[in-house]
Chain A
Amino acid sequence: MRAFFNTLKDGVAVVDGQGKVQFANAAGNRFAALAVGEPFPEPRVLAGLADLVAGRARAPLAINLADGVAGTRGALLSPLPIPGHYALTLNAGGESEAFETAIRNLFDFIDSEVGAPIERFARGLEEAFEEDSVPDALAALFEDARAAASLLKRTKMLAELFRTTTLIDRERLPLAAMVRDVLDAEAEVIGDREIQVHLDGLDEELPPVYGSRPWLTRAMREIVDNALRQCPPKSNVGIALQCTGAHVIVKVTNHGHFRPAALASLPVFVPFHRIAQYVKEKRMPKKPVAGRPTEIPVGGPGLGLALCQRIVALHGGRLQLPEEDTEGLVEVRMELATGAPAVDDEALNIEQAKRYAHDMAALMHRMRAARGATLRAAGA
């Protein structure tokens, strides 16, 4: 029986009515360094036990230990069939909880500690380039540093996204204007690569969509930027706005290096999913074969679509990569729910009710006065 208890991740202890430990499994000892015959070393547990013994509390009694006994969230006290003895279960924090905390801490760290140096580094590089005084020998080094700075900035953006909830807004979104903003921002890429951009549905009356304009514009730009950079020079990119019932769809298409089926098989929405491939390609660059599209294009580490998906999902929408291969046409769909988010703003309701109560007397007085005037008119 002792061996069985020792396999449990949760701490288990048996205490008597005074709180003296009679038994503790391995996890219990790890959490609280319990010693048989000694009182349980947590006053909140002893106080709870005293309440249980005196009948002031009912079993099972849950005790919050989140800020107390190391590694535990709480304890549960229950009487055992042996008179005067109680079982105490110490809940271990789950592995997934620990993982989530670690990830959150990492993103907090990146955003708060690493973010500012990244921004300064990227700005410094740009300024150094603008000065036009970089020796040729250092130019390649600067290019690599610039690429690294760009990746670091994206990482910082990811951290910012994951640790903040303020990107959610309830602004009414002018999608057509947002598409035009994106095209303005991408004008240089469009010009350099001589891409023809075809727009469709921008002038149609679409149902309203609500959300954060800056964040959704950023997501839209990421998708459009991908399409512009991954397609061959002098090719076409399409951007269309469509409505299908409860959703407005922003559809971005290109005839790029992607193959839709191959792309669909990749975990494109997992941040940094292409790191392994990226590193491999950096070490052993592929020789391009004329007329044959590359299955996985040389590009970033696989962060852009993951960011977009995160932004869109936080707005209740979804990002899709349909698998249909229409002569190599790649499509990315950003679906956003139409209509304002249904929210029951309790604080507003309460405030409105207060206003109503405040005005009630005046409203009643006004109504009585109106009725009196009606009656007097009728009497006259």
Chain B
Amino acid sequence: MRNRILIVEDQPDIRKLIWMTLEFGDYELHEAENGDDGWRKAQAFRPHVMLLDVMMPGSMDGLQVCAKIKSDPALRDIRIIMLTARGQKTDIEAGMAAGADAYLIKPFSPLELMDRVEQFLSAPDRRAA
């Protein structure tokens, strides 16, 4: 069974680049374009890893989706990598407070993205530093 990854990102170009990067691995990929869609697909597909943009239009941003997932017993094992455009300390702290397992600052290195994903898939219980 292939590992499932859900990409939640509102910017189509960035979403496409993440998708293309992850296609180098052997994953089952899903995508969502906003927080509400991401929350629905997380429930539907139960991904192993979720790449979640912090700032998104709509009634839920990445931080709220993350907090909801981590407070849901059925979903809390999903490993969440937050994507932030600014990398400000407050954003990162807010992400970690919401329960995120790791974060990547845009523009991020696709190799680093792959490494992070592999890290979680190979050691699912290990939280990132």
Contact = CB atoms under 8 A, between A and B. Distances in A.
B61 A340 contact: yes
A341 interface: yes
A220 B19 CA distance: 42
B110 interface: yes
B13 A208 contact: no
Given A352-B17, A356-B20, A364-B24, A345 B85 contact: yes
A363 B18 CA distance: 13
Given A352-B106, A354-B107, A363 B59 contact: no
A260 B55 CA distance: 38
Contacts of B25: 367
A246 interface: yes
A245 B36 CA distance: 13
A351 B56 contact: no
B94 interface: yes
Interface in B21-46: 21, 24-26, 34-35
Interface string A36-54: 0000000000000000000
Contacts of A342: 10, 57
A338 B63 CA distance: 14
A355 B56 contact: no
A108 to B, nearest CB: 30
B128 interface: no
A93 interface: no
B60 interface: yes
A221 to B, nearest CB: 22
Contacts of B85: 345, 348
Q: Is the interface of A mostly helix, strand, loop or mixed?
A: helix
Given A352-B17, A355-B110, A210 B24 contact: no
Q: Is the interface of B mostly helix, strand, loop or mixed?
A: loop
A349 interface: yes
Contacts of A364: 24
Contacts of A356: 17, 20-21, 110
Nearest to A170: B55
Interface in B108-129: 108-111, 114
A344 interface: yes
Interface string B82-118: 0001000001001000000000001111110010000
B55 A210 contact: yes
Contacts of A345: 11, 85
Interface residues of B, number: 31
B58 interface: yes
A267 interface: no
A341 B85 CA distance: 13
A362 interface: yes
A355 B35 CA distance: 26
B55 A363 contact: no
B21 A208 contact: no
A122 B111 CA distance: 57
From B10, B21, B85, B111, name the one whose CB has the most chain A CB atoms within 10 angstroms: B111
A355 B20 CA distance: 13
A363 B94 contact: no
A172 B24 CA distance: 34
Interface string A289-323: 00000000000000000000000000000000000
A246 B94 CA distance: 23
Please give me the 10 A-B residue pairs with the lowest Cβ-Cβ distance, nearest first: A340-B55, A339-B57, A351-B107, A352-B107, A207-B59, A359-B110, A208-B61, A349-B13, A339-B58, A342-B57
18 contacts: A172-B55, A172-B61, A207-B58, A207-B60, A207-B64, A246-B59, A338-B59, A345-B11, A349-B13, A352-B106, A355-B107, A355-B110, A356-B20, A358-B109, A359-B21, A359-B109, A360-B110, A362-B111
Interface of B: 10-11, 13-14, 17, 20-21, 24-26, 34-35, 55-61, 63-64, 85, 91, 94, 106-111, 114
Given A344-B13, A356-B17, A370-B26, 16 more contacts: A172-B55, A172-B94, A207-B58, A207-B60, A339-B59, A339-B60, A341-B57, A345-B85, A348-B14, A351-B107, A352-B106, A352-B107, A355-B107, A356-B20, A363-B110, A367-B24
